[in-house]
Amino acid sequence: MMNFKTGKIALAAGAMCLSVSAFAQTSAVYTIDPTQLKATIQPTMYGVFFEDINMGADGGLYAELVKNRSFEFDKSLMGWKITGDSTAVKVVDRKAERPDNPHYINVTVPSAQGIGLANEGFRGMGIRKGEGYNFSVIAKQAAGSNISLQIELRDESGRAIGSAIVQPRSTQWKKFNVSFAASAQAAKGSLYITLKGKGNIDLDMISLFPQHTWKNRANGLRADLVQMLADMKPGFIRFPGGCIVEGRYLVNRYQWKKTIGDVDKRETIINRWNTEFKHRSTPDYFQSFGLGFMEYFMLAEDIGAEPLPILNCGMACQFNSGELVPVDQIDPYVQDALDLIEFANGDASTKWGKLRISLGHPAKFNLKMLGVGNENWGPNYVERWTLFRDAIKKKYPQVKIVTSTGTDPDGARFDTLNTAFRGLKADILDEHYYRPPQWFRDNAKRYDSYDRNGPKIFAGEYAAHVPGVNDALKKNNLEAALAEAAFMTGLERNADVVNMASYAPLFAHVDAWQWAPDLIWFDNLEHYGTPNYYVQKLYSLNKGTNVVPILLGGQPIAGQEGIYANATINKNTKELLIKLVNVSGQSHKASLDIKGLSSYQSKAWVTTLTSDKPDVVNSLEQPQLIAPKEGSLTVAGSSLVIDAEPYSFKVIKLKMK
Ligand code: AHR
């Protein structure tokens, strides 16, 4: 809840320094005309970019606690420890029969003392006191065997904090479930299974989920992490990436059809980020696809975001193999795109629509756009893109195609693609920029000069990268967040051209990341939003419906004395919304000269993100060190006078009477 106070100068929280006076000394007069409606801001304007990087899916958003649950990692028993006679456990390969799930284990239990199997989870298992847990396994026993499984959750010291017994008595593959509660919390717990009895048993898909997932769904998502996304009210979710779309080789590209239906039939593959960075090697990083396309569509639906799938265009990552599908063999790739649209939007009379319905979702997902290619470039890309474009537009002319402009926002690669795709009248161009904060500050006017009649722009991946040490952690500090906020004034001012934007990447596990900075960090139990997260959230929640002019000496406010600003109105809620960013180390006094100020309520609401040190970061220990603080002020006289603290981002909201 906002805290509204009255009075001449009203400060609700923190060390905010707002002053309101018609007589204050001001160094700058900003003129705002809320009656002049400029660009319409699309509901999709601010979204999120999800990729399974930094253990964002397995070990992150996907709530499964067991790592390598179906023994498909390169080292089949990675993540597992055997106690007792280790020769009693054999990995069985049935690739010919089950290419989607080629391995399981066969255990011979010799006597009453049993065999133990322990799973370490994804850097441990986060266990909460009092929480219910669902254990499941697909198993079959040899005739005459009488093996039971004693399930135990253990904390870091080895103490049992929850247990149950499963008796998988079947000679045919069958799923067995048991639920139990945890008696204590553990940040790095583990799962112990003791096989007791005598005989021989086959085990596959050994799984443990918390009962409390997002919407308490089985095979669900971590509720606290989804809530962070829901709180942003994102306009879209870009999924599944990112380079993961492309794969290091085509065989490891993302294939949506292999990510729906029964989870035990979703083929596990190596995650491309497993080996990508030597300094952040993650040998236990694989993709189970438990969070697949159905879960993705439902997540988008749950939080009111448009789905924006990005599909492989017949090219593996050009930073890796650059493997190419010959154009005369590209049909299956194009068909995947057409089938995805049918899966999302088709009715029961269509093959893929029928499948969606059979998976429990009769309602259509109303897919309106999809991306062809991630960070692809060169003539091979243009050639393949054209084939996709022709096929998609023929069958689904209303579906918008998101098109890559490569890896960088400038240079020969960008220029060539930009020219080519403008010539081809692409719907939406996807621009990426991972650049130092200075670039973002310098580029706040980037889109002021873009062609108003050309393709729309999707700022599809961006983040300000402060220099790291030897390619290690680049911090999510306030300086980076303010640089992004400054740049975003330019995105918003140009909302007639820029229709979508998403920071990247979204999630990172503090013990298992490969790429930093990232928007939201987490461990097995907790999470925190970075200052960058709060910038994204404040923009998304306060985007308004139309841009209105805010000018200094007739010019956009884009870096004069380190100040960046944009103004919008929300026609529905009748609010004027002003974003003001001060990236400088000096406080800045500005007089906001608002046309028709008297038609607004005398109270204004101000949300401020600031700190006196631009290098400051949030952490699990101090998750709210930099977080928005809410305050209010009272309008007096004919203008508002704002003192913007050094290193600050403010959203000022005025409501019409
Ligand atoms: O966001 C991380 C990576 O950056 C993405 O996978 C890729 O598209 C970009 O290079």
HEC string of 150-202?
Answer: EEEEECCCCCEEEEEEECCCCCCCEEEEEEEECCCCEEEEEEEEEEECCEEEE
Do residues 251 and 287 touch, judged by C-beta distance below 8 A? no
For residue 10, pLDDT over 80 is answered with: no
Cβ neighbours, 10 Å, residue 28: 17
Least trusted range by pLDDT, from 323-327, 398-402, 473-477? 473-477
Q: How far is the CA of 564 from the centre of ligand 1 (A)?
A: 27
Question: How much is the pLDDT for 111?
Answer: 73
Do residues 260 and 355 touch, judged by C-beta distance below 8 A? yes
Do residues 405 and 418 touch, judged by C-beta distance below 8 A? yes
Pocket probe mutation, ligand 1, options 48, 49, 50, 51, max atoms within 8 Å of Cβ: 51
For residue 598, pLDDT over 60 is answered with: yes
| Pocket flag, ligand 1, residue 314 (CB < 6 Å) | no
Give the mean model confidence (pLDDT) for residues 107-128: 92
Q: Is residue 101 helix, strand or coil?
A: coil
Least trusted range by pLDDT, from 109-123, 388-402, 565-579? 109-123
407 CA closest ligand 1 atom index:
10
**Residue 82 and residue 77: Cα distance in Å, rounded?**
9
- Alpha helices by DSSP H, 396-505: 411-423, 437-442, 478-493
128-161: b (≥16 Cβ within 10 Å) or e: beeeebbbbbbbbbeeebebbbbbbbbbeeeeeb
Give the mean model confidence (pLDDT) for residues 509-519: 96
| Pocket flag, ligand 1, residue 52 (CB < 6 Å) | no
Residue 313 amino acid letter: C
**Residue 221 and residue 217: Cα distance in Å, rounded?**
8
> Which residue's alpha carbon is at the smallest distance from atom 4 of ligand 1?
242
Q: Give the torsion sign (CA, 276, 463, 56, 45).
A: negative
Pocket probe mutation, ligand 1, options 48, 53, 519, max atoms within 8 Å of Cβ: 53
Do residues 635 and 600 touch, judged by C-beta distance below 8 A? yes
The number of CA neighbours under 13 Å toward the Cβ of 603 is: 12
| Pocket flag, ligand 1, residue 339 (CB < 6 Å) | no
**pLDDT by residue (tens digit) across 232-244?**
999 999 999 999 9
Question: How much is the pLDDT for 625?
Answer: 97
| Pocket flag, ligand 1, residue 127 (CB < 6 Å) | no
- Written as six digits, the tokens of 446 are 């980037």
User: SS3 string of 466-495?
Assistant: CCCCCCCCCCCCHHHHHHHHHHHHHHHHCC
**pLDDT by residue (tens digit) across 136-194?**
999 999 999 999 999 999 999 999 999 999 999 999 999 999 999 999 999 999 999 99
505 CA closest ligand 1 atom index:
1
Length of the chain: 657
According to DSSP, the residues that pair with 199 across neighbouring strands are 109
Give the mean model confidence (pLDDT) for residues 89-95: 98
Cβ contacts of 410 within 8 Å, gap of 6 or more: none
| Pocket flag, ligand 1, residue 246 (CB < 6 Å) | no
**pLDDT by residue (tens digit) across 556-596?**
999 999 999 999 999 999 999 999 999 999 999 999 999 99
| Pocket flag, ligand 1, residue 11 (CB < 6 Å) | no
pLDDT band, very low/low/confident/very high, at 471 (cuts 50, 70, 90): low
Cβ neighbours, 10 Å, residue 514: 23
Query: What's the pTM value of the predicted model, to 2 decimals?
Result: 0.95
Burial of 384 (0-12, 13-18, 19+ CB in 10 A): buried
For residue 396, pLDDT over 60 is answered with: yes
Q: How far is CA 67 from CA 79, 89, 118, in A?
A: 6, 18, 11
What percent of the chain clears pLDDT 70, i.e. is strictly above it? 95
Give the mean model confidence (pLDDT) for residues 242-248: 97
Q: How far is the CA of 624 from the centre of ligand 1 (A)?
A: 27
| Pocket flag, ligand 1, residue 51 (CB < 6 Å) | yes
Q: How far is CA 657 from CA 36, 76, 333, 601, in A?
A: 18, 66, 55, 5
| Pocket flag, ligand 1, residue 504 (CB < 6 Å) | yes
Question: How much is the pLDDT for 473?
Answer: 75
The residues carrying an active-site annotation are: 375
According to DSSP, the residues that pair with 93 across neighbouring strands are 103
> Which residue's alpha carbon is at the smallest distance from atom 7 of ligand 1?
242
> Which residue's alpha carbon is at the smallest distance from atom 2 of ligand 1?
505
Q: How far is the CA of 318 from the centre of ligand 1 (A)?
A: 12
| Pocket flag, ligand 1, residue 505 (CB < 6 Å) | yes
> Which residue's alpha carbon is at the smallest distance from atom 1 of ligand 1?
505
241 CA closest ligand 1 atom index:
6
Q: How far is CA 264 from CA 100, 435, 472, in A?
A: 8, 41, 36
Kind plus residue range of the DSSP H or E element containing 536: helix 531-541
Question: How much is the pLDDT for 7?
Answer: 26
For residue 15, pLDDT over 90 is answered with: no
According to DSSP, the residues that pair with 239 across neighbouring strands are 309
Domains and CATH numbers, the chain: 13-40+547-655 (2.60.40.1180), 48-60+215-435 (3.20.20.80), 80-210 (2.60.120.260)
| Pocket flag, ligand 1, residue 461 (CB < 6 Å) | yes
Give the mean model confidence (pLDDT) for residues 513-518: 95
**pLDDT by residue (tens digit) across 297-349?**
999 999 999 999 999 999 999 999 999 999 999 999 999 999 999 999 999 99
How far apart, in Å, do the first and last CA atoms of the chain sit?
21
Radius of gyration of the chain (CA): 27
User: SS3 string of 531-573?
Assistant: HHHHHHHHHHHCCCCEEECEEECCEECEEECCEEEEEEEECCC
pLDDT band, very low/low/confident/very high, at 469 (cuts 50, 70, 90): low
Least trusted range by pLDDT, from 21-35, 211-225, 369-383? 21-35
pLDDT band, very low/low/confident/very high, at 78 (cuts 50, 70, 90): very high
**Residue 612 and residue 617: Cα distance in Å, rounded?**
12
Q: How far is CA 190 from CA 219, 376, 638, in A?
A: 19, 41, 64
pLDDT band, very low/low/confident/very high, at 88 (cuts 50, 70, 90): very high
**If you count DSSP H runs as helices and E runs as strands, how many of each does the chain have, helices first?**
9, 36
Mean pLDDT for all residues in the chain: 94
Q: Got the DSSP string for 205-243?
A: EEEEEES--GGG-TT-B-HHHHHHHHHH--SEEEES-SG
Cβ neighbours, 10 Å, residue 489: 26
**Residue 295 and residue 220: Cα distance in Å, rounded?**
8
Percent helix, strand, coil in the chain (nearest 5)?
20, 35, 45
> Which residue's alpha carbon is at the smallest distance from atom 8 of ligand 1?
242
**Residue 113 and residue 214: Cα distance in Å, rounded?**
39
> Which residue's alpha carbon is at the smallest distance from atom 9 of ligand 1?
242
**pLDDT by residue (tens digit) across 179-231?**
999 999 999 999 999 999 999 999 999 999 999 999 999 999 999 999 999 99
Question: Prior bond to 554 cis, omega within 30?
Answer: no
Do residues 203 and 139 touch, judged by C-beta distance below 8 A? yes
Q: Which phi-psi region, left, alpha or beta, contains residue 59 (left: φ > 0; alpha: ψ -120 to 50)?
A: left
| Pocket flag, ligand 1, residue 544 (CB < 6 Å) | no
**pLDDT by residue (tens digit) across 254-292?**
999 999 999 999 999 999 999 999 889 999 999 999 999
Question: How much is the pLDDT for 639?
Answer: 84
Question: How much is the pLDDT for 47?
Answer: 98
Burial of 111 (0-12, 13-18, 19+ CB in 10 A): exposed
For residue 21, pLDDT over 50 is answered with: no
375 CA closest ligand 1 atom index:
8
**Residue 540 and residue 45: Cα distance in Å, rounded?**
8
Do residues 103 and 94 touch, judged by C-beta distance below 8 A? yes
